[in-house]
Amino acid sequence: MEYIGDIKGRAGAAVPDPVFALLFAVLKSAPNPAQVRDGALLLDIDGFISEQPAAVDPIATLISGQAPIGEYRQRDIIRALKLAENSDEVKAVVFDLDGFLGAGRVNLSEIGDAIDRVKKAGKPVYSYATAYSDDGYQIAAHATQIWMDPLGGVVVTGPGGTRPYYKGLLEKLGIKANVYRVGTYKSAVEPFIRSDQSPESKDALKAVYDEIWGEWRRDVAAARPAAQLDGLIADPAGSIEAVGGDLAQLAISNKLVDKLGDRIAFGTFLSETVGTDTAKTLGGYAATPMDALLAANSPDDSGNPIAVITAAGTIVDGEAGPGTAAGDTVSDLIYSALENDDVKAIVLRVDSPGGSVLASEKIRRALERAKEKQLPVVVSMGNLAASGGYWISTPADAIFAEPATITGSIGIFGVIPSGKQALANIGVTADGIKTTPLAGEPDILNGFSPDFDRFIQSTIEKGYNDFLTRVAKARGKTVEQVDAVGQGRIWAGGTGHQLGLVDRLGGIDDALAEAAKRAKLSDGDWYPAYYEPQPDFLTAILGGAAPRSHVGAKDLFARAAWEQQQQWIRIQSDVQLLTGISGAQVNCLECAALAGTPALAPLAKPDSGWLRFFTKWAG
């Protein structure tokens, strides 16, 4: 409180009590290095794991009354595991996955590799959850011992599922989705013009699903060879019926988990392994939270910096905070790195399905400036580097991807709705005078003119040719060769490597090593310097004190309900795609189901009152 009093004295005015309370909450919520103690490293993952967590807007949280779901930065988890690997204080690692909601396949694979290194250092790793689904089990499979609540279970479903198609609804409402696109496989707009998925889209997605699903099975099988998954995957209904519906027994008999027990039993076991907590609570054990361990161990910053800039989330125009790849923000971070003469190379970490053409090009041009300055540029693709995510990768001297990375989707589209029939259904017509073929266009009241359609389609085709040309120049291919693997089709990283869209398979560490090599830096003579978008002042001050939603124990039925909620959010995003996009898009929205992170947020500020108006009158 003395520090707060000092602020008050300098300001020369009394600080209102609510501000004292908020500042106290911020200070109280800050990681405390003093919490580091002998015992276990506790990784309590209550929410999602992502490449770059979105900033919490405290004001929006207060207004909505809904606390945001937690997000955990993947590289923080990796660093904590590396610290645990070499720390004398950390005797074991504990993953509490009861509230874990998912992550991208690449993030999961890299965390699994880090867990394996901890075990190789001679330290056990334990996992606990009420129930495990695909993502949680991929982490747990790497543990020394897997615990599960006796009322829980393990259910593996694999990727895939359905999505809504709106053609019938739009026809009923009298709304036309005017679509302009290039790419046989550019299926982002299909829900607005079809009642089902096109054969081309099915073929492309199935190929990617099969490749990613194969990577999941290989990872789990290598991490836990004893697990008997084939029968459960092939005949889940028969498998559960054979044990009388007992999911816990099914998991034990198929060696998917090692122990059944509630939290108290799990904690008691750990207390005998790593020591009891200072309060000696029932089921308590000695543990250090991840944030405290990270706060007590600053990253090494000796040597020459290699700038690491993350482009995570949808690529949008303008500026934005963490978790969104805003064109101005990301390009400014690149220029900031260029202004630092100490920076010897740039690594762009991409985890994005794409978005705005203009914003993507702004980021690409910033990387081109780095090339002009003779700085090595290396791209590390995370879970997603598709469409605009691939566009911004083209200047790289080398592109790294993981086998489970989703990339490609070289295509472009635009969509604008019009409501001529909707107005006619309620007795409204539109008429007027045009001085030129484009006057009053796009005419959302009376329908678009053929001239406007031809005009926009021509610009979209030019945009696709620009995309092909950039990729062809960057990859040393002809435009025709790129077109053959383009057309909006998505590829998994392994196939992308075979097709020449990716140079090498590897993670962020491999990309950093390549950047150091190209900058002629020796081992130990460099470190990664992360350039991150900073939240605004109010968010920075109050964001840490904003409440977070605690998912809590999730059995299989609760997880199913959660997935249902996500489907509604995706429908909201689809509506926003139709009504909120400005400008041409290089976006892979069909990749969202593979991202492993929360359903896409609206792409623009909602302004669909006219759509609600038509919906009301169309019944």
- Per-residue pLDDT reduced to its tens digit, 293-317: 999 999 988 999 999 999 999 999 9
Q: Which two tokens stand for residue 104?
A: 């991208």
Domain-located, residue 7: no
The catalytic residue positions are: 186, 387
Q: Collapse the DSSP code of 219 into the 3-class scheme (helix H, G, I; strand E, B; otherwise coil) and give the result.
A: helix
Query: How far is Cα 262 from Cα 422, in angstroms, rounded to an integer?
Result: 57
109 pLDDT exceeds 90? yes
In a domain, 409, yes or no: no
160 φψ region: left (φ > 0), alpha (ψ -120 to 50), beta (else): left
Number of structural domains the chain divides into: 1
Query: What are the φ/ψ torsions at residue 530 (nearest 5 degrees)?
Result: -85, 120
**CA separation (Å) from 489 to 316, 380, 410, 590?**
22, 20, 7, 10
**Residue 127 structure tokens:** 């996992």
With respect to residue 579, please indicate whether it lies within any of the assigned structural domains: no
Query: 324 phi and psi, to 5 degrees?
Result: -130, 130
pLDDT of 505 above 80: yes
Alpha carbons 362 and 221: distance in angstroms, whole number: 43
Non-local CB neighbours of 141 within 8 Å, separated by 6+ positions: 112, 219, 220, 223, 224, 227
* Residue 611 clears pLDDT 80, i.e. is over it: no
127 assigned to some structural domain: yes
pTM of the shown model: 0.87
- Residue 581's pLDDT band, with cuts at 50, 70 and 90, is low
Nearest to 352 by CA among 530, 537, 588: 588
Burial of residue 79 (number of CB atoms within 10 Å: 0-12, 13-18, 19+)? middle
* 443 falls within a domain: no
Question: Between 327-339 and 357-372, two packed helices, what is the crossing angle to 10 degrees?
Answer: 10
CA distance 149 to 510: 38
3-class SS string, 265-326: HHHHHHHHHHCCCCCCCCCCCCEEEHHHHHHCCCCCCCCEEEEEEEEECCEECCCCCCCCEE
Average pLDDT, rounded, for the chain = 85
Task: Give the span between the Cα atoms of 86 and 92, in whole angstroms.
Answer: 11
- Least confident range from 93-102, 259-268, 417-426, 596-605: namely 596-605
What integer is the mean pLDDT of 102-119? 96
Q: Which CATH number goes with the domain that contains 57?
A: 3.90.226.10
Strand partners for 505: 401
Domain extent for 33: 22-156+229-295
Band the pLDDT of 600: cuts 50, 70, 90. Answer: very low
Residue 59 CA neighbour count, 13 Å, CB half: 6
Establish if 331 belongs to a structural domain.
no
Whether residue 501 is predicted with pLDDT greater than 70 in this model: the reply is yes
| % residues pLDDT > 70 (the chain) | 81
What is the C-alpha to C-alpha distance for residues 212 and 221, in angstroms, rounded to an integer?
Answer: 14
Q: Does residue 303 lie in a domain region?
A: no
Q: Is residue 245 part of a domain?
A: yes
Asked if residue 36 lies in contact with residue 89, where contact means CB atoms within 8 angstroms, the answer is: yes
pLDDT category of residue 341 using cuts at 50, 70 and 90: very high
Question: Using 50, 70 and 90 to split pLDDT, how confident is the model at 413?
Answer: confident
Sign of CA dihedral 343, 346, 347, 350: positive
Q: Who contacts 606 (Cβ-Cβ below 8 Å, separation ≥6)?
A: 576, 579, 580
490-492 and 406-408 as β-strands: parallel, antiparallel, unpaired?
antiparallel
* Phi (first) and psi of residue 176, to 5 degrees: -110, 130
345 pLDDT higher than 90:
yes
